Amino acid sequence: MKLGKATREAFGLALAQLGETRPDVVAVDGDVGNSTRTEIFGKKFPDRFFNVGIAEANLVGVAAGLASSGKRAWLASFATFVMCNAYDQLRMSVAFPCLDVKVVGTHAGISIGEDGPSQMGIEDVSLACSLPNFTVVVPCDEPSMFKAVEALGNMHTPAYLRAGRPNVPILYEKACEFQLGKANKLREGTDLTIIACGLMVAQALLAADELAKGGVQARVLDMHTIKPLDDAAVLSAARETGRIVVAEEHLLHGGLGSAVAMSVARQHPVPMRFVGINDTFAESGKPDELLAKYGLTAADIVRAARDLPTKK
């Protein structure tokens, strides 16, 4: 797999590109524009960029005010800062009035690395999914992030867009298919399905390659939209492959796994296993070492798949 840009970098470039054709797009940042990469937009459109400082509640309030005045507001900060520090403002100032505010949480997951647990967004997807009217999207690479920004830019309702710090493999061509609420099938398979999002999609593909060596053909779904979930893709996976593994760089409670489990239970129950962060905070360390220590690698997906009952 060819290594591409970090999804946070792709977000910054995509937002600046969106601003070229949408003069009503504005960006608001919490004094981390050099990290969230909104500074790319800010340098291009200084009159449409607002840095409110390290004040996440105010960050959301300003974005909501701009949106209520007719602007298309995009706000950005570290995932844990905006979702944890400003949840009430997101709930009452954005979700309740259903304003056109796109919330971007960067540096999500434990792959932020050495910055440690205070800056690792590991519960952000769960919090975002709990907000009524919010769409929740977790792209896996540079091309899909560009498509996600474009798609969200066409919506007039709130959304949460998750981005990461490390460079990630390119899994899509620039002209990739991307539709909100519709999973992308990256690999065919009839023995089981691996459903993943974010950087775990690349690991899912590696796991599928390893499983194939033993004669197990795994379908791989990039479930980039967590809410609304692609129930049809989940149903097809359950019916046609009979077993499902879900992989995400997030706490096991409340993220992609929870959403898929509800869909499976409602539509067509099958054996499932879950790869994610198991009810713990991570420590500071190198990203690859942390992902290995906390069970977020292709090998962990393979183990989960082999732990499933062999009979469908």
**C-beta atoms surrounding 280 within 10 Å:** 11
Distance of CA 78 to the CA centre of its chain: 13
Neighbouring C-beta atoms of residue 154, cutoff 10 Å: 9
- Find the DSSP H helices in the chain: 7-21, 33-36, 39-44, 56-68, 79-85, 87-89, 124-129, 142-153, 200-213, 231-241, 256-267, 287-293, 298-306
**Given the DSSP bridges, would you call strands 184-187 and 218-222 parallel, antiparallel or unpaired?**
antiparallel
152 near 145, Cβ under 8 Å? no
How are beta strands 225-227 and 135-137 bridged, if at all? antiparallel
Element (H, E) at 105: strand 101-106
Instruction: List the structure tokens of 230.
Output: 């692609």
Q: How far apart are CA 221 and CA 292, in angstroms?
A: 22
| 231: Cα separation from own chain's centroid | 18
- Residue 111 falls in which region: left (phi positive, over 0), alpha (psi -120 to 50) or beta: alpha
Q: Could you say which of 9, 20, 39, 56 is catalytic?
A: 56
Please list, residue by residue across 108-119, b when 16 or more beta carbons sit within 10 angstroms of its beta carbon and e when fewer do. bbbbbbeeeeeb
Which phi and psi angles does 278 have, rounded to 5°? -95, 80
Is 185:219 a contact under the CB 8 Å cutoff? yes
Q: Is 56 a catalytic residue?
A: yes
Task: List the catalytic residues.
Answer: 56
